[in-house]
């Protein structure tokens, strides 16, 4: 798919109070270690009997990702953010059909934490017969909300890779877009879930963000 826009953003769209409410809500809950999709799919092979990750799986995971997360699925969060997703989908010219949002993922990146290059979409639709709103669908639009003041951390930039995927492993840094537009607190960025992106390592302070994946039936 040839894209004219790899992402669409709204700078400082959400109020500081909204950001504060999300962070305060998250701090009321115990965080869990973020895992990648591959670790989740191989759960039977990578977990000990007590549910913790085996050392080999942990080492493999930290090559790709190191952060702490909390899941949220509160209506007031979606109500605030959904209008921006619809507007971005139209204004960017994607016009993807989607009708459901997965649980929001609140993420904390402390010093030295990161999320390496990845895309959010799977190579096949969800197989979840017990969840009709997800079953048979794929991730189409991803959303990241910046909850921290930019002065509260250094590093931790969201970056997009626009290079041809077949050259991805051998290409140099050219073709990388640093999404500085969403550094201001309350900013939102929306992008197709198949676009490669990463969160660079945080070198100082703490970066808080909220991620939402939005589903629809596979491309026709």
Q: List, for residues 156-209, the tens digit of each pLDDT value.
A: 999 998 765 545 555 455 678 899 999 999 999 999 999 999 999 999 999 999
Model confidence, pTM = 0.85
pLDDT, average across residues 127-135: 96
- What proportion of the chain, given as a percentage, has pLDDT over 90? 71
Tell me, what's the pLDDT at 2? 62
Tell me, what's the pLDDT at 116? 92
pLDDT, average across residues 146-162: 95
State the CB neighbour count (10 A cutoff) for residue 166: 8
pLDDT band with cut points at 50, 70 and 90 for residue 52: very low
8 A C-beta contact, residue 135 and residue 150: no
Query: What's the Cα-to-Cα distance from 158 to each of 45, 88, 149, 168, 169, rounded to whole Å?
Result: 31, 18, 15, 18, 19
Tell me, what's the pLDDT at 109? 97
Mark residue 163 as left, alpha or beta (left: phi above 0; alpha: psi -120 to 50; beta: remaining). Answer: beta
8 A C-beta contact, residue 195 and residue 203: no
User: What is the Cα–Cα distance from 122 to 46, expressed in whole angstroms?
Assistant: 20
- Whether pLDDT at 93 is above 70: yes
pLDDT, average across residues 208-220: 95
Question: What structural domains and CATH numbers belong to the chain?
Answer: 8-216 (2.60.120.620)
pLDDT, average across residues 34-57: 48
Tell me, what's the pLDDT at 214? 98
User: What is the Cα–Cα distance from 148 to 26, expressed in whole angstroms?
Assistant: 13
Question: Between 60 and 110, where is the model more confident?
Answer: 110
Tell me, what's the pLDDT at 58? 41
8 A C-beta contact, residue 64 and residue 36: yes
């Amino acid at each position: 798919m040839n894209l004219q826009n790899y992402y669409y953003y709204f700078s400082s769209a959400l109020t500081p109070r909204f950001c504060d409410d999300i962070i305060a809500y998250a701090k009321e809950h115990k965080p869990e270690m973020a895992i990648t999709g591959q670790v989740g799919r191989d759960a039977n092979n990578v977990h000990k009997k007590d549910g913790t990750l085996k050392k080999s799986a942990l080492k493999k995971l930290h090559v790709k990702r190191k952060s702490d997360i909390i899941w949220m699925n509160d209506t007031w969060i979606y109500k605030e953010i959904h209008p921006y997703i619809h507007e971005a989908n139209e204004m960017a010219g994607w016009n993807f059909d989607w009708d459901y949002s997965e649980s929001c993922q609140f993420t904390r990146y402390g010093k030295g934490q990161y999320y390496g290059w990845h895309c959010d979409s799977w190579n096949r639709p969800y197989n979840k017969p017990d969840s009709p709103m997800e079953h048979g669908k794929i991730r189409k639009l991803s959303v990241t909300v910046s909850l921290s003041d930019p002065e509260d951390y250094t590093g931790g930039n969201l970056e997009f890779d626009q290079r041809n995927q077949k050259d991805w492993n051998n290409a140099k840094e050219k073709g990388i877009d640093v999404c500085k537009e969403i550094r201001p607190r309350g900013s939102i960025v929306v992008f197709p879930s198949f676009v490669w992106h990463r969160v660079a390592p945080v070198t100082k302070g703490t970066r808080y963000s909220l991620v939402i994946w939005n589903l629809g039936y596979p491309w026709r």
